[in-house]
Amino acid sequence: MLNTSKSRVLMGGGLVMALALTGCASGGASPAPTDKESSLDSMDPIVLTYSDSNVETAAHVIAMQEFMEQVTEATDGKITFETYYAAALHPVTESLSAIQSGLTDITFVSPSNVPDLMPAALWETTIAQSAIEPEFPMSLIQGTPVQSAAYEEGPLADELAAYDAETLVTWGTAPNSVMCKSEVTSADQAAGKTIRTPGPPFLNEVEELTMTNVTLPVTDVFEGLQRGVIDCFMNVISPFITLGIWDEAKYFIPAHFASSYGSQLLIKKSVLEELPIEAQQIIFDARVDLLANIVEASLERNVQWANEAPAKGVTFVDPTSFNKAIDAARDAYTEAALDEAPAAIADPKAFADELGEFAGKWDELAGGLEIESGSPSTQEGWIELYRSVEDIDWDAYRDALHEYLAPYRP
């Protein structure tokens, strides 16, 4: 059995489309390509390389482990995986070239990592802010299926296809929040404070609050708070825990700042398309389960925050005044983005409308899930809301995802 990526490098570019390799090929003979209409039983075993710039404890990486096990079991071992984590195979900035060259078959990327290579996807991360429900946890619960539909076909899919890539899964986040070291309990108190953000469109929102953005590597944030280089740090909950931010900053602002969209795992398009249809269907079904697992694992961090942050002395700030400023900024920057679309977006207004339609279709389908969403004004309210995700029927959510994405199943 050979690794598909390594064998392509050894045998040359002519094997980019010869994807199913035999385990006993010898004497320099090139293995025959798999007929995608053939059965799984007649398929030759392959090994897919999965590379990721994130560590093994990242939420999506943990969920990916289950995906790989599911695919291997469902294909009776015909598809297995070789894994590389923490950028051991290539940096995240080379994800698209790694897919295109055949160095890897599955890898992680976010549009912000390669803005020049994914301009349409990067633009969409701004436009999506007005189409997807901004409150917790719906920005993630709804945002993930909407993002998935947006990447199935159209300009976002075409942009990736140029690199022989397509989306395996893409997901959003809960709204970004802010931790401040100095006392900040209202939008007025935020004025003049320095803050480290993930970049656009978050910059527009903190500028509306008259805060000053400071460019700083995430690894330097804790020391930056200690030394007074920054007053506040914006991100999702997980880094507040893993970086120990809650040990240094105690004012937590759970406003509905922008959600992070566009993070995704790519799969090499030619590899996937040359698999038998039965194998493609197995991968599709597993990727939908993977989406649900990523969402569930991400929200578990919020439960942990609700259970442990108060004991750390963290104060949950009423986000009401912040949300007013955020909403004003969001209306302005999403409207401006429609006039600044990249060339690949032929009709920006129609694209934005379609995102809204994707969201509406999800709401119709998932209305029975009865997931609580909102923006409480008290610490007790936020703790209760964060803990409420433990009551989500994840089997029902998974079923809804399968139904929602069924039109795209091979």
In this prediction, residue 30 carries a pLDDT of 31
Residue 170 in 3-state DSSP? strand
Question: Which residues have a Cβ under 8 Å from the Cβ of 242 and sit 6 or more positions away?
Answer: none
What is the rounded CA–CA span in Å between residue 129 and residue 258? 6
Kindly report the number of other CB atoms within 10 A of residue 82's CB atom. Answer: 17
Residue 254 in 3-state DSSP? coil
What kind and span of H or E run contains 128?
helix 119-131
One-letter amino acid of 133: E
With tokens 């709401």, the residue in question is 363
DSSP character at residue 30: P
Q: Which tokens hold the place of 342? A: 């990249």
- 4-to-7, 33, 270, 329, 390 alpha-carbon distances in Å: 5, 12, 12, 47, 40
Q: Provide the CATH topology of domain 177-260+301-348+370-401.
A: D-Maltodextrin-Binding Protein; domain 2 (3.40.190)
**Residue 67 near residue 289 (C-beta atoms within 8 A):** yes
One-letter amino acid of 355: L
What is the rounded CA–CA span in Å between residue 272 and residue 280? 7
In this prediction, residue 37 carries a pLDDT of 57
Domain ranges of the chain: 4-114+140-172+263-300+404-408, 177-260+301-348+370-401
Give the pTM. Answer: 0.86
DSSP character at residue 245: G
- Written as tens digits, the pLDDT of the chain (410 aa) is 434 443 333 333 332 333 333 333 333 333 344 445 578 998 999 999 999 999 898 889 999 999 999 999 999 999 999 999 999 999 999 999 999 999 999 999 999 899 999 999 999 999 999 999 999 999 999 999 999 999 999 999 999 999 999 999 999 899 999 999 999 999 999 999 999 998 888 999 999 999 999 999 888 999 999 999 999 999 999 999 989 999 999 999 999 999 999 999 999 999 999 999 999 999 999 999 999 999 999 999 999 999 999 999 999 999 999 999 999 999 999 999 999 999 999 999 999 999 999 999 999 999 899 898 999 999 999 999 999 999 999 999 999 999 999 999 99
**Residue 31 near residue 44 (C-beta atoms within 8 A):** yes
Q: Where are the beta strands (DSSP E) in 226-381?
A: 232-235, 251-253, 263-268, 315-316
Q: Which tokens hold the place of 214? A: 């400071």
In this prediction, residue 23 carries a pLDDT of 34
> Do the domains at 4-114+140-172+263-300+404-408 and 177-260+301-348+370-401 have one common CATH topology?
yes
Q: Provide the CATH topology of domain 4-114+140-172+263-300+404-408.
A: D-Maltodextrin-Binding Protein; domain 2 (3.40.190)
Q: Nearest CA to 200 among 133, 302, 316, 112?
A: 112
